[in-house]
Amino acid sequence: MTFQDIFKSSFLDNITSVSILDMVLAMVLAFGLGILIFFVYKKTFKGVMYSSSFGVTLVALTMISTLVIMAVTSNVVLSLGMVGALSIVRFRAAIKEPLDIAFLFWSIAVGIVLAAGMLPLAVFGSALIAAVLLIFVNRKTHDNPYIVVIHCSDSHAEAAATAALAENTQKHVVKSKTVRADSVELHFEVRLKSDDTSFINTLSKLDGVSDAVLVSYNGDYMG
């Protein structure tokens, strides 16, 4: 056994399994498309509190997915070990917005497609997905649901407020009703006829109505 045989290792043979040009091109494109995903996420965010760390995570996830898949595609044995290693990982971060799941899968999918060498598919697919999200998520419509909260002094004021609400909205549904000794609190889910919200001013001026509140409603109601 010679000195060269002692230091001969398959580990060193894997150094050239992926060319430098392929690595640079894939990682640069992964970074660029990750920035695109981050930009679309920032423009389409509709939650309560924007998390900049989640946006950075999308960029990092795109690059990490590309890195991992490039390593897996270059070595069959490594791919089997990678499956076993990833199977023990548990992610317990809560996803608060359903749309966030789409961004996570988008980042992972871009990384996989780039590492597989399908560069046109990754670029064209990302551009198409970005256009769809920007158009549909940011589309403003008066058909969006709202919650109207009304505080009335008695049943007569309640009837008057309900009638006024029915006259000025396309649809209204009682979500909850709380009756106290000196007041009645009503929660309505409403669909507006237009973007005009001046009917709330009219509701608040009715006899027996102490206040009226209009709140944007995302579809999740806790009653």
Instruction: Assess whether pLDDT exceeds 80 at residue 16.
Output: no
Instruction: Enumerate domains of the chain plus CATH numbers.
Output: 3-137 (no CATH), 145-216 (3.30.70.260)
Residue 71: what pLDDT?
Answer: 78
Q: How far is CA 212 from CA 39, 127, 196, 206, in A?
A: 37, 44, 15, 10
In whole angstroms, what is the distance from residue 12 CA to residue 1 CA? Answer: 19
pLDDT tier for residue 223 given thresholds of 50, 70 and 90: very low
- Which tens digits make up the pLDDT trace of 72-113? 776 655 555 565 555 555 656 667 777 888 999 999 999 989
Residue of 15 and 220 predicted with greater confidence? 15
Total residue length of the chain: 223
Partnered with residue 191 across adjacent β-strands are 145, 171
For residue 106, give the amino acid letter. Answer: W
Query: Would the pLDDT of 221 be above 50?
Result: no
* 25-69 pLDDT, tens digit each: 999 999 999 999 999 999 888 766 777 888 899 999 999 888 888
Look up the pTM and report it.
0.64
184 vs 52, residue with greater confidence: 184
C-beta of residue 54 within 8 angstroms of C-beta of residue 25: no
The sign one gets for the Cα dihedral 73, 76, 77, 83 is: positive
Nearest CA among 42, 24, 191, 147 for reference residue 103: 42
Per residue, the 3-state secondary structure of 83-103, as one string, reads: HHHHCCCCCCCCCCCHHHHHH
Q: How far apart are CA 168 and CA 67, in angstroms?
A: 57
49 versus 164: the higher-pLDDT residue is 164
What's the rounded Cα separation, in Å, for the pair 174 and 189?
Answer: 6
In the predicted model, is pLDDT for residue 169 greater than 50? yes
Average pLDDT, the chain: 81
CB 167 within 8 A of CB 181: no
Choice among 109-113, 116-120, 141-145 with the minimum mean pLDDT? 141-145
> Has residue 13 got a pLDDT over 70?
no
pLDDT score recorded for residue 67: 86
Mean pLDDT of 125-138: 90
